[in-house]
Copies of this chain bind each other. A is one copy, B any other.
Amino acid sequence: MFRNTSSLIQPLVFFIIIALLFPFSLPAEGLLLQRIGGGVIWVSAVLATMLSLESMFHSDYQDGTLEQMLIHPRSLSLAMLGKALAHWTATGLILTLFSPLLCVTFNIPSEQIWVLFTGLLLGTPSLTLIGAIGAALTVTLRRGGVLIAIIILPLYIPILIFGAGMLTQVAQGLEVTSQLYALAAILALSITLAPFAIAGALRITIN
């Protein structure tokens, strides 16, 4: 699955690059970055996931291995769940693990770091699973990348709202349990349903 370490670090590098563009482009005030840092990290995570998705099935389609998967006796949806989780390990998980370091560079207070970390841990698998549906629907199209974005970003926004919302809550000293439950519920839903949608989408588009 992972040919080499470089494919593992690439989404991470992407994530870091996106996040680091902001310090260069915002007014240099210590407090500003600290206040928006959490949001910036969430946006970077969403973008990094989304961008990595475009290639999730694309080369498989181009070289014909996707067709071979389609006619393999294993359950396609199970295989897709596996593929999505592997993809998540190489994108969402890694960038979640890395996020605390980024938080430190943004001077984000430590109670927020934990919330951000947990939020990303619960949120990024859903991002990948939901995004894979979009990737599967657009795999046969050139310029699928933008269409993926159009399709899946509406579905990402709730996750973003819950995830980034927690940070604002914490900053104001409020509870975040309800948001955590919401993220967990979204995750449960995506794990159970998304694989079927992905498999269905592939069967529809490959012909």
**Pairs A–B under 8 Å by Cβ, sample size 18:** A7-B143, A10-B147, A13-B150, A14-B145, A14-B146, A18-B47, A21-B47, A21-B153, A21-B160, A24-B161, A25-B39, A25-B42, A25-B161, A27-B35, A27-B36, A27-B168, A28-B168, A59-B142
Q: Does A103 contact B (CB under 8 A)?
A: no
A157: interface (CB < 8 Å): yes
Tell me the interface secondary structure of chain A in the complex.
Answer: helix
B36/A145 in contact, CB under 8 A = no
**Do A13 and B59 contact each other (CB < 8 Å), given the known contacts A18-B47, A24-B160, A26-B39?**
no
By a CB distance below 8 angstroms, the chain B residues around A51 are 51, 145
Report A102 CB to chain B, min CB distance, Å. Answer: 15
A94 interfacial by beta-carbon distance below 8 Å: no
A194 interface residue per 8 A CB criterion? no
Contacts of A59 in B (CB 8 A): 142
Does any Cβ of B come within 8 Å of A46's Cβ? yes
Cross-chain contact B39 with A150 (CB below 8 angstroms): no
Q: Is the CB of B36 within 8 A of A164?
A: no
A residues 4-41 near B (Cβ < 8 Å) are 6-7, 10-11, 13-14, 17-18, 21-22, 24-28, 32, 35-36, 39-40
If A24-B164, A47-B47, A164-B25 touch, whether A17 touches B150 (CB-CB below 8 Å) is yes
**Residue of B at shortest CB range from A29?**
B35
A47 neighbours in B (Cβ, 8 Å) = 18, 21, 47
- What is the count of identical protomers in the complex? 2
Closest to A9 in B: B146
Question: Which residues from chain B contact A35 at a C-beta distance below 8 Å?
Answer: 27, 32
A173 → B minimal CB distance (Å): 13
> Which A residues, 137 to 188, have Cβ-Cβ distances below 8 Å to chain B?
142-143, 145-147, 149-150, 153, 157, 160-161, 163-164, 168, 171
**A59 to B141 Cα, complex, angstroms:** 12
CA distance A21 to B39 in the complex (A): 9
